[in-house]
């Protein structure tokens, strides 16, 4: 069994069970696209159906912003974004219109985490690996 993506007919095939797509509730798709581009350098694009979509910095996870869905304001299921520096990212979040929910919190030798609300009110997490 392979733990990494395999190649099929010259194309990258993602492994079974990998998270590949996220729908993020938005009140203003353009504002959300700008926020995630400014903070995380996610690339925005137009899907085949004309909807605004995104790809994360690796291109391994994509998704779209959806209107008409309530933001996830509670941590019923929390998505974490890997960052090099939580402190630097929290500054970018505040500057881009988001707000800190849980400040930079050490996990001892296991790194650190924080949570934030994006401009639409969605709660997401940040994770920083141990240095």
pLDDT digits (tens, 9 = 90+) for 85-102: 999 999 999 999 999 999
Categorize the per-residue pLDDT at 11 as very low, low, confident or very high, splitting at 50, 70 and 90.
low
In this prediction, residue 120 carries a pLDDT of: 96
Angle at which helix 29-40 crosses helix 86-95, to 10 degrees, equals 150
Question: Rounded to whole angstroms, how far apart are CA atoms 124 and 130?
Answer: 20
Q: Is position 7 within any domain?
A: no
Return mean pLDDT, the chain.
88
Prediction pTM value: 0.84
| Any domain includes 9 | no
Classify residue 81: in a domain, yes or no: yes
| Residue 2 falls inside a structural domain | no
3 inside domain: no
Residue 31 falls within a domain, yes or no?
Answer: yes
CA atoms within 13 A on the CB side of 4: 2
The predicted model gives 80-86 an average pLDDT of 96
pLDDT at residue 128 tops 90: yes
Count CB-CB contacts under 10 A for residue 54: 20
- Is the pLDDT reported for residue 50 higher than 50? yes
Question: Domain for residue 89, yes or no?
Answer: yes
Domain tally for the chain? 1
**Nearest 10 degrees: Cα torsion 122, 91, 107, 76:** 0
Q: Is 79 exposed, middle or buried (0-12, 13-18, 19+ CB in 10 A)?
A: middle
Which neighbouring-strand residues pair with 43?
55
Residue 33 lies in a domain: yes
The CATH number for 59's domain is 3.10.180.10
Q: pLDDT tens across 52-77, in order?
A: 999 999 888 999 999 999 998 887 88
* Residue range(s) defining the domain that contains residue 88: 18-128
Is residue 18 scored above 90 in pLDDT? no
């Amino acid at each position: 069994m392979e733990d990494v993506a395999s190649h099929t007919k010259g194309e990258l095939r993602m492994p079974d069970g990998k998270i590949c797509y996220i729908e993020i509730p938005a009140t203003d798709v353009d504002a959300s696209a700008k926020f995630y581009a400014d903070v995380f350098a996610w690339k925005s694009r137009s899907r085949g159906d004309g909807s605004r979509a995104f790809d994360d910095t690796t291109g391994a996870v994509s998704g779209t912003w959806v209107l008409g869905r309530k933001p996830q304001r509670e941590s019923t299921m929390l998505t974490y974004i890997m960052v090099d520096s939580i402190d630097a990212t929290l500054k970018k979040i505040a500057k881009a219109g988001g707000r800190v929910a849980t400040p930079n919190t050490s996990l001892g030798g296991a790194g650190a985490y924080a949570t934030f609300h994006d401009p639409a009110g969605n709660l997401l997490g940040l994770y920083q690996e141990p240095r």
